[in-house]
Structure formats: structure tokens, C-alpha cells
Amino acid sequence: MQHDALLRLIDHWKSDPHSTYNTWFLWDERLKNFRSIRRGIAQVVREIEAGTFGNAYRGSSLETVVGSVAEQRQIFKGADHAFLWKPKLRIPDIYENEDNQRAFARLLHTCDCCDSAEAILEAIRRIDALCIKGLGPAVANLLYFIHPTLVTPFNTAIVNGFNALTGSKVKLGRWDHYLSLRDGLIRLNEQHRSRLSNDLGAIAGLMFDVGSGRYTAPPTSPDHAMLRAWEADLQRVREETTAAQRQWLQEREGDTTHTEIQGWLRELGLALGYQVWIAANDRTRPFGGGRLADGCLETLPEGLAGGLDSVRLIDVLWISREEPRVAAAFEVEHSTSIYSGIVRMLDLALGTELASRSPLFLVAPDNRRHEVQQQLRRPAFSRVTELGIRYLPYSELKNHRETIARFGSGIKPVMEISQAL
């Protein structure tokens, strides 16, 4: 694409009172809408995490927030089409499939809480690896209102404009094509930022006006340099996505095992007569036909609830029914760093009188005993010895949990099958 021709196009676009630049990007209400849309996205996440979202688009919090996006002038007209339920195709599959629904919520939540392009791209690759039917890069229109300097909007006209201006061959409906388009738009934006904006809505608006036929694209350069750059972007994106998918599959296997162990500890604790607390970030995980936190405490006892946030993230706590006291605490360390689990145990034991003498258990695969011992030798954990943190191998819990649940009483049987370190 000829550099001077593009500069002339941008200048003409900005001076045109009917361009997207003047009718939407400089629209007084545009920035005000970011806050309300972001609040709406957070509400969608809360409802999915609480299990109250339901299984229908119509009347849902998602319909409200997507409708707000679709009202953002011509560039977002039709943004709701991708989220409308198509009953014959059963897409997008985030209404009837609860696992997909939760994955969608994790994408929105991760992007809402992060502040880096790397974290956003990682979240996108994770959702792409799931191959959820009908849930494609139209989601970027939501993510844009969370991170306008890191995410570009995405629709047919924007794709058509980008292809016309660069000679690329981006296709709709594929995350790898979206990410390559994003890379190309960021590159163009950096070249012409003095005329455009850090907000990627500006460059997307230019693509939209070209793609919708308002302006004719300048001729592409004879050597097709932009096409080659796009092809390189696409190849890199695909390689990164493949690597992320392999990693995600490994992590998902670990998550499944981690949740299963938490479920065993939940069932055992309830059978022994304790109240049970499940880590705040794991409560909605599916287990046994329901949620992992079913039958467990909704809030921590007062003396614990006001303590460190890390205590809320301990995998499983058994709470005495006779008094607000922690009877036992369990950190499940399937494949992640044992370090963080020990830190949470220390916070619990040293941060509140309700757990000052409670048995603490690191629950891990049988082959991680040596790793657990090494971590406990760190100088930072010099107080661990006096706290008596114990190692509970998976095999011991698996082999004895049903017998303990039927005939056991108190913590003693669990102490018997665990090991001092």
C-alpha cells in the first residue's frame, strides 16, 4: 500500500463529517458507554459464576450488554447477531453447555482483570482451544470496551476494509485470523499514530468505512509486502495457538484431578461431621453432578472472613460445628508450585487464633513427596516445623477415605494416613 495514499485517505476520512471518525469516534457519548458496558460484562461473569445466568440469551444480562454494544452507532450495528441463539444449529454453545458458559465467563473475567496484551492473548488462545461452536472473534467487540488500546473491534466491514487496504486474506469466524488482523492493525496504527489514536477504535473505524464502501482503498504495493506480513502474522498466531492448546490440555487434566481431590475432601469432611469451606475461586467447578461447593459454607466464620484474602483461597477447610474453629486445612498441589500453598497455610496458621493449632495438610501425588520436603526446607518457611504441616499422598486418601468416612471420628484417622515432614 502506498504510504502517501494512505495518509491522504486518513486526512480525508478525518475531515469528512459523515465518517465513522466524526460520527462515532469523536461522539461525546462514546467514552461514557465504556463504563456501563464494562459493568454489564462484570454482571454477566458474576451470574455465570453463581450459576444463575440461565440457559437463554433473551432476557439475560448478556443480551443487555451486547445490546448496548450494538447501539454504538453504525460500526457496531449487528454486533448482537453473533450472540443470538440459533436453535437449529445450537450455537453459540454457551447457553446449553455449562462448561462452555463458564469458559466464556473466564475469558471475560480474565480480560477485565488484566492489563497487558500478553494476558489478553493468552485468554483468547484458551477459549480458541476449546473450539466452542459459534463463539468466535465477535467476542472481541466486548473485549474492546474493556481494553480499547489493546483489542480492536471485529466485523465483516472491518475485515473487508483491512483486506482491501493491505491485500490480506482475513476470514471471518476464526480467532487466528482475528489475531493476525489485530497485529496488522496495530502495526498500521503505530505507523500513523500521529494522525490516529492509541485507541484502536480509530483504526478500526477507518477499516469499517473502507470495507463498507464509503471510501475506495488505495492500490496495494507491487511487491505485496503487506500480504507477506499478514501471512507471517497468521503463521505465528497459529503456532502460538497450537502451543497454548497443548499447555491448556495438560492444565485441564490437572484441574480435573485437583477438583476430584477437593471433592473427596469435601465428602470426607461432611461425613466426619464438619462444616466445609471450598476455595472461593473453585466453588463453581462441576463435581458429582453439581457444583464443588454444594453443601458447603457460603461464608467463612467471622474470625476468618476478616483475615487475609489468601485464607479464602485455601483449597479445603474443615470447620468445627461446635465452635468457629478450623479443624483442618488442606492444600491440594497436583502439578502447580507447592510454594504458594505453603504460604497460604502459614497465613492461616499465623494470622488467626481460630486456626493457630489446626492440623495442616499438603495433599499431593505420591511422587511429589521429595518436592514438598525441599520446599519446606526454604529459610522463608522456618516456622513450618513448629506448625507441623503434614504430607497426605493421593493414594492414601483414595484407599482409606471411604473407610474413614464410615467408621472414623475426628481428625485422628487422617493424621494416621498422612506423613510428618
**pLDDT at site 138:** 94
Grid coordinates representing 180 are 493476525
Q: What is the pLDDT of residues 274-297, one digit of tens each?
A: 999 998 878 888 888 889 999 999
Rounded distance between C-alpha atoms, residue 420 and residue 125, angstroms: 42
Q: What is the pLDDT of residues 307-318, one digit of tens each?
A: 556 678 889 999
Provide the sign of the torsion angle of the four alpha carbons 382, 388, 389, 393, taken in this order.
Answer: positive
Q: Which parts of the chain have pLDDT scores under 70?
A: 1-3, 219-231, 233-234, 236-238, 240-241, 243-256, 305-310, 335-337, 339-340, 351-356, 378-386
Residue 34, CA distances (Å) to 23, 119, 269, 305 in order: 17, 20, 45, 33
Contact 170, 181 (CB under 8 A): yes
Beta strand spans in 212-366 (E): 275-278, 286-287, 290-291, 316-319, 326-332, 360-364
Question: What region does 400 belong to: left with phi over 0, alpha with psi -120 to 50, or beta?
Answer: alpha
**pLDDT at site 276:** 95
